[in-house]
């Protein structure tokens, strides 16, 4: 875990993980450690952990769908100011097609798209950006505190 | 990961535990689906599940669909608070 800045009003922690499903537990544990360190409201912590885990899962499932044995790493950065939490994800997988990132119609009983729905329910904003080199994708989630 | 399974007449109870995510979901399917396919009613005891994400919900939805096809059913028992929170959020969607 690397601390990028620790001035009193702006905290940031970043860590990278191998892109595979077995890393998701490590992503959750990293998030829990950071939220404890940042003293995020306990009622909010597990919801945020769920949103982060779903976003990381989407990288494994979608950005690296055709490369299950990749040695690439994804990075998660959690930043906190007095009023807002920002969670950024960086990966080098298949570029995200924004038009395809949506949850399904309510009358379709298959569960696919549920993870994206959870992220939308929990977070205030979701932005997909092109990543600065070497990254391809940069997803940024924010939540007002 | 192994899960305890108990049998009582035609009901099999699977005691899930820990954190159910994408990495574990296939293990859970491997335990539940053969029980459903044998025509048994399956109870999923969730009291020791500390975390579950959309992959866990997928397993539950797929299990329900599979049970309907086999004319049996799947029930959730002793749902833990973290799981109940995720189920409540999922109900808005499903």
Q: Which two tokens stand for residue A64?
A: 């690296």
- Count of alpha carbons within 13 angstroms of residue A132, beta-carbon side: 1
For B36-53, give one letter per residue: b (16+ CB within 10 A) or e: beeebbbbbbbeebebbb
Number of Cβ pairs closer than 8 Å across A and B? 65
When CB atoms are compared, the residue of A22, A60, A111 closest to B57 is A111
Number of domains comprising chain B: 1
Write the CATH number for A136. Answer: 3.30.565.10
Strand A2-7 and strand B4-8: the pairing is: unpaired
Domain range for A137 is 2-144
How close is the nearest chain B Cα to the Cα of A61, in Å? Answer: 9
Domain range for B50 is 4-91
How close is the nearest chain A Cα to the Cα of B88, in Å? Answer: 11
For A102-119, give one letter per residue: b (16+ CB within 10 A) or e: ebbeeeeeebebbbbbbb
B87 part of contact set with chain A, CB < 8 Å: no
- Report pLDDT digits (tens) over A35-49: 999 999 998 999 999
- Are the C-beta atoms of residues A79 and A120 closer than 8 Å to each other? no
| A22 contacts in chain B (CB < 8 Å) | 23
Whether the per-residue pLDDT at A7 is higher than 80: the answer is: no
CB contact under 8 A, B53 and A57: yes
Q: How large is the average pLDDT for residues A10-36?
A: 96
Maximum CA extent, chain B: 35
B23 part of contact set with chain A, CB < 8 Å: yes
CB contact under 8 A, B89 and A54: no
- Are the C-beta atoms of residues A135 and A90 closer than 8 Å to each other? yes
CB contact under 8 A, B53 and A21: no
Q: How far is CA A102 from the centre of its chain?
A: 16
Write the CATH number for B57. Answer: 3.30.750.24
| B18 contacts in chain A (CB < 8 Å) | none
pLDDT band at A66 (very low <50, low <70, confident <90, very high): confident
pLDDT band at A82 (very low <50, low <70, confident <90, very high): confident
| A19 contacts in chain B (CB < 8 Å) | none
A26 part of contact set with chain B, CB < 8 Å: no
pLDDT band at A107 (very low <50, low <70, confident <90, very high): very low
- Report pLDDT digits (tens) over B2-50: 899 999 989 999 999 999 999 999 999 999 999 999 999 999 999 999 9
Whether the per-residue pLDDT at A4 is higher than 60: the answer is: no
| B51 contacts in chain A (CB < 8 Å) | 28, 46, 49-50
CB contact under 8 A, A50 and B86: yes
Q: How far lies B22's CA from each of A94, A98, B59, in Å? A: 20, 23, 10
Q: What is the DSSP string of B13-69?
A: EEEEEEEE-HHHHHHHHHHHHHHHHTT-EEEEEEEEEEEE-HHHHHHHHHHHHHHHH
Number of domains comprising chain A: 1
Distance CA(B46)–CA(B56), nearest Å, equals 11
Distance CA(A62)–CA(B70), nearest Å, equals 32
CB contact under 8 A, B93 and A103: yes
pLDDT band at A111 (very low <50, low <70, confident <90, very high): low
Distance CA(A104)–CA(B93), nearest Å, equals 8
Q: Which two tokens stand for residue B64?
A: 């329900």
């Amino acid at each position: 875990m690397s601390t990028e800045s620790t001035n009193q009003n702006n905290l940031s922690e970043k860590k990278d993980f191998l892109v595979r499903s077995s890393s998701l537990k490590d992503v959750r544990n990293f998030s829990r450690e950071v939220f404890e360190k940042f003293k995020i409201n306990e009622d909010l912590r597990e919801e945020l952990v769920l949103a982060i885990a779903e976003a990381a899962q989407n990288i494994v499932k979608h950005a690296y769908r055709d490369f299950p044995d990749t040695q690439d790493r994804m990075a998660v950065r959690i930043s906190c100011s007095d009023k807002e939490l920002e969670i950024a994800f960086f990966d080098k997988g298949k570029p995200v097609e924004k038009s395809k990132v949506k949850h399904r119609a309510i009358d379709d009983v298959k569960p696919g798209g549920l993870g994206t729905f959870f992220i939308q329910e929990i977070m205030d904003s979701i932005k997909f950006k092109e990543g600065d080199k070497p990254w391809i994708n940069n997803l940024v989630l924010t939540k007002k505190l | 990961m192994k899960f305890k399974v108990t049998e009582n007449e035609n009901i099999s109870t699977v005691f899930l535990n820990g954190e159910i995510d994408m990495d574990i979901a296939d293990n859970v399917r491997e335990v539940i689906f053969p029980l459903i396919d044998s025509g048994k009613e399956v109870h999923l005891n969730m009291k020791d599940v500390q975390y579950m994400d959309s992959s866990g919900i997928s397993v539950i939805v797929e299990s329900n669909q599979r049970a309907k096809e086999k004319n049996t059913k799947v029930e959730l028992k002793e749902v833990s608070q973290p799981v109940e929170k995720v189920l409540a959020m999922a109900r808005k969607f499903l």
